[in-house]
Amino acid sequence: MPTDPAKLRIVLYPDPVLRAKAKPIPAITDEVRAVAQRMLQLMHEAPGVGLAAPQVGLNWRLFVASPSTDPNDDMVFINPVLSAPGRELEDYEEGCLSIPQVTGEIRRPKAITVEAIGLDGATFRLTSDELPARVWQHEFDHLEGTLILDRMTPMDRMACERQLKELETDYHGKSKRR
């Protein structure tokens, strides 16, 4: 069943789609292009620096990113693969558009390489040891069904328990009304 990009919205924790491993996109179609454009729009409106397809309810291996928040720097990553993580690890406070008002210190490799397909169908490879590296890793985690909650320190996780319970209550209340 085709996806109507206009109906896409950012889904919130604990929606099960956020925990599912996303499936590869077999071909770059008009539908994929339209979804990517809508995801970029949602990311900028939120505002955020990245957004993965599971965060809009789609089980696709696709994410968009713009670490500078400048629309001229928008990028689309289809079927991304991460490699060559740097040895140096770095702690940095991360948030997530699907888990509003929750942040935590997340330790990740400072440097990473990503290889993906762009909307033009061409494969590209990028390496970074700055904010883009962190954004790529965060969004890639979404494609694996991993959330920042899984990477937080126990102390940070405890600090956000109240907010998580509220999100769970809201989600289950909406599910019952459907």
Annotated catalytic residues are 139
Count of beta carbons in the 10 Å neighbourhood of residue 40: 18
Q: Classify 52 as helix, strand or coil.
A: strand
CA distances from 55 to 2, 3, 64, 123 (A): 18, 14, 11, 24
Decide: 86 and 55 in contact? Cβ < 8 Å: no
Token representation of residue 23: 């499936």
Decide: 138 and 54 in contact? Cβ < 8 Å: no
Containing 141, the helix (H) or strand (E) segment is helix 131-143
Report residue 50 CA to chain centroid gap.
Answer: 6
Cis peptide before 14 (omega within 30 of 0): yes
